[in-house]
Amino acid sequence: MNLTTVILAAGKGTRMRSQLPKVLHKIAHKPLLRHVHDTAIQLENNTIHIVIGHGAELVKKTLSDLSANWVEQTQQLGTGHAVQQVSSQISDDTIALILYGDVPLLKIETLQNLLSKISEKTLALLTVTLKNPTGYGRIVRNNSGKILRIVEEKDASETEKQIVEGNTGILAVQGKSLKKWLSQLGNDNVQGEYYLTDIIALAVTDGFEIITSSPDNEDEVLGVNDKLQLAHLERVYQLQQAQNLMRQGVTLHDPNRFDLRGNLEIGQDVEIDVNVIFEGANNIGDNVKIGANCSIKNATIGDNVVIFPNCVIENATVGASSRIGPFARLRPETILATDTHIGNFVEIKKSVIGPGSKINHLSYIGDSLIGKKVNIGAGTITCNYDGVNKFQTIIEDGAFIGSDTQLVAPVTVGKNATIGAGSTITRDTPDEQLTLSRNKQISVPTWQRPVKKEKL
Ligand code: UD1
Ligand code: CA
């Protein structure tokens, strides 16, 4: 079966109160339209057309990688008019499937189920029974339950408004018939629009049977019209992801306070405390514990790692059995080997830290190569930047850097070298020796504390 999917995405989204076209607003950092596309693309033998209008250029530019054909609807004259723009590209023997760019959480199974209902003389329509159907087109059935037509809310009589079966807008039918009905649409209605929904009555006239199916859950077919609905669907989506992870065995201390904005490959017996946000592509090993309030982006985290609360990790690799934080920041191109300890208020950028090395308190390490079993004392700073260029610091295996040391790069600290606390190191230091740069300590017996001046 050949499939032609039309995704409607030309509307303005006035109620979003935003300059951004509606379908570019995001759920889990991914534009609404991309969600819909990524679901549709999973259907076999599918050609996707996306109808754009408001902000068309921006939509195309932002989502230029989608495997879809862009069709412009210069004036938004209604959903039927939108589909008409694609008419010439829908072949007779294909099944046409209509989707909405602002209905992001629709499941592939729901579409497959809908498509399975199609035969030569049927139109498959996704409907939903709603507690509050306000705003939806209503499904009008006769006494024996046969569908006759759809009436839009604005055109509905008081009796029709009582109907709780709503039109999701999503439907599928053979291309040939769809094109015929599209050419017959008029705009004689309250909104003066060409309604796609009017094809239902035309199909009935042509002797078609309207077969319905429904999604498992109403949230699947909810559209985004304003920021409240966007936030609602964000939570729905996040909870789904959290539930998937829990099914895989991940312990989430509170699935309602978990955010995944990207992908997460995760091992066994991982425990994640509240308010952890993952972005991009992350890979987490077995037995990892992540404390509360961590932001983790494009990270690879090895087995048995413990991340204490309030850490920010981006484009970094954390070796197995390492301990990070609390309050640590791993910036891009940080590579930590196994069994490293990175403590509170430590910032690391573009550096490789060897196995068993420790940087436990209040340090900045940038553009550095640090060997194994190095101990970096509290308050150590690599001075990697002269205001114009960046330079590298190398600290060889087994070195011990005393607290409050400044290492002025480029500089190399030798193997097993010790640096005395409070030193400013500007030249390479030899292996195995103590190096320090400090004024001699003096005491001044004649010195007296200042006294407070008397007020005049
Ligand atoms: C539509 C349905 C209604 C259904 C509801 C479900 C029609 C006439 N009505 O109403 O039965 O219950 O969806 O949410 O179809 N669009 C275009 N070009 C246009 C007009 C709309 O691309 O000229 C796109 C919009 O961007 C949006 C979608 O079509 O993605 C739906 O349009 P919208 O105006 O929101 O239709 P509703 O009034 O919600
Ligand atoms: Ca809508």
Torsion angle in degrees (nearest 10) through CA of 359, 360, 366, 371: 10
Asked if residue 102 has its Cβ within 6 Å of ligand 1, the reply is yes
Q: Cβ of 88: how many Cβ atoms within 10 Å?
A: 9
Domain that holds residue 378: 227-435
| CA 88 / ligand 1 centre spacing (Å) | 21
Give the CA angle between residues 255, 234, 5 to the nearest 5°. 125
Residues 6+ apart with CB under 8 A from 173: 95, 96, 118, 122, 123, 124, 199, 203, 208
Q: Please work out whether the CB of residue 197 comes within 6 Å of at least one atom of ligand 1.
A: yes
Q: Does one domain contain both 301 and 343?
A: yes
- Is 450 inside a domain boundary? no
Residue 453 within any structural domain of the chain: no
In a domain, 81, yes or no: yes
Residue 368, pLDDT score: 98
- Residue 179 and residue 35 share a domain: yes
Distance 62 CA to ligand 2 centre (A): 22
Protein residue with its CA nearest to atom 20 in ligand 1: 78
**Best residue among 7, 79, 149, 193 to mutate for probing ligand 1, ranked by most atoms within 8 Å of CB:** 79
Here the CATH number for the domain that contains residue 280 is 2.160.10.10
* Structural contact between residues 78 and 193, judged by C-beta atoms closer than 8 angstroms: yes
Whether 243 and 279 map to the same domain: the answer is yes
Give 188-226 pLDDT, tens digit per residue: 999 999 999 999 999 999 999 999 999 999 999 999 999
Pair 242, 210 in one domain: no
The mean pLDDT of 401-416, rounded to a whole number, is: 98
| Residue owning the nearest CA to atom 26 of ligand 1 | 11
For residues 242 and 297, state if they share a domain.
yes
Start-to-end Cα distance in the chain: 98
CA proximity to 102, closest of 47, 166, 26, 171: 26
**Across the chain, what does the average pLDDT equal?**
97
Q: Are residues 206 and 351 in the same domain?
A: no
Query: What is the count of structural domains for the chain?
Result: 2
**Residue range 331-341: mean pLDDT, rounded:** 98
Determine the atom of ligand 1 nearest the C-alpha atom of 10: 22
CA 304/CA 284 separation, integer angstroms: 10
Residue 1 pLDDT > 90, yes or no? no
What CA–CA distance (Å, rounded) separates 112 from 127? Answer: 15
Domain boundary pick from 190, 221, 252: 221
253 an active-site residue? no
Q: Say if residue 292 is in the same domain as residue 419.
A: yes
Q: What are phi and psi of 239, to 5 degrees?
A: -65, -40
Query: Is there an atom of ligand 1 within 6 Å of 355 CB?
Result: no
Look up residue 113 and give its two tokens. 């189920």
Residue 254 lies in a domain: yes
Kindly state whether residues 242 and 258 are assigned to the same domain: yes
For residues 354-386, b (16+ Cβ closer than 10 Å) or e, as one string?
bbbbbbbebbbbbbbebbbebbbbbbbbbbbee
pLDDT for 41:
97
Task: Please tell me the distance from the alpha carbon of residue 245 to that of residue 139, in angstroms, as a whole number.
Answer: 38
In a domain, 117, yes or no: yes
Strand partners, 211: 124
Structure confidence at residue 456 as a pLDDT band (50, 70, 90):
confident
Q: How far is Cα 76 from Cα 22, in angstroms, rounded to an integer?
A: 14
Give domain status of residue 446, yes or no.
no
Would you say residue 168 lies in a domain? yes
From 187, 221, 255, the end of a domain falls on 221
Q: 35 and 60: one domain?
A: yes
Beta bridge partners of residue 129, listed in sequence order: 165
Check whether residue 184 and residue 236 sit in a common domain: no
- From the candidates 54, 232, 253, 361, give the one annotated as an active-site residue: 361
27 and 45 inside one domain: yes
In a domain, residue 88? The reply is: yes
pLDDT at 171 over 90: yes
**Tell me, what CATH number does 200's domain have?**
3.90.550.10
